[in-house]
């Protein structure tokens, strides 16, 4: 298991849980809260770029690995129960998680490589600060 990807997947699982139920199992809005004045972001959904990246990477996995990741990180129960949900042995589940972690890492590296990188500005185009008298 790749620890970095495991941590990112755990954050993704928390993000998915907050998106589904609002975090604590309470509805985001009910009849008496609609009338209250809201400050801040109100009912704006939580945006987490790191979790969204993992969400996209999981979506690009083959179905068998995608199921393993979804059951392992989003499902409840013991590892043996999760392996039964995936219709495989415990060792096979961990092997699939490892393969998925490698593919997610590759996906993240490919995405990072495709981003435009900042280029230093040429010296002649810099704005020179002048002192006003």
- pTM across the whole model: 0.70
CATH 1.10.287 assigned to domain 1-19+48-113? The reply is no
Would you list the domain boundaries of the chain? 1-19+48-113
Residue 16: which residues within 8 A CB-CB, separation 6 or more? 51, 55, 74
CB-based contact 82:71 (threshold 8 Å)? yes
Give the separation between CA 98 and CA 46, rounded to whole angstroms: 29
User: Could you say which DSSP state residue 40 is in?
Assistant: T
Which pLDDT belongs to residue 24? Answer: 53
Question: Is the pLDDT score of 28 beyond 60?
Answer: no
Which pLDDT belongs to residue 80? Answer: 97
Which pLDDT belongs to residue 44? Answer: 45
Give the separation between CA 50 and CA 55, rounded to whole angstroms: 9
Give the count of beta carbons closer than 10 Å to the beta carbon of residue 82: 20
Region 105-117: what's the mean pLDDT? 85
């Amino acid at each position: 298991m790749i620890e970095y990807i495991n941590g990112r997947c755990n954050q993704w699982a928390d993000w998915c849980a907050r998106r589904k139920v609002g975090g604590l199992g309470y509805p985001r809005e009910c009849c008496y809260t609609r009338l209250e004045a809201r400050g801040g972001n109100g009912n704006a959904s939580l945006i987490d770029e790191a979790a969204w990246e993992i969400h996209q990477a999981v979506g690009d996995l083959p179905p068998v690995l995608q199921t393993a990741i979804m059951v392992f990180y989003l499902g409840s129960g013991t590892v043996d129960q999760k392996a039964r949900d995936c219709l495989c042995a415990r060792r096979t589940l961990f092997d699939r998680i490892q393969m998925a972690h490698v593919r997610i890492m590759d996906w993240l590296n490919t995405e990072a490589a495709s981003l435009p990188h900042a280029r230093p500005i040429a010296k002649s185009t810099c704005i020179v600060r002048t002192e006003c008298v």
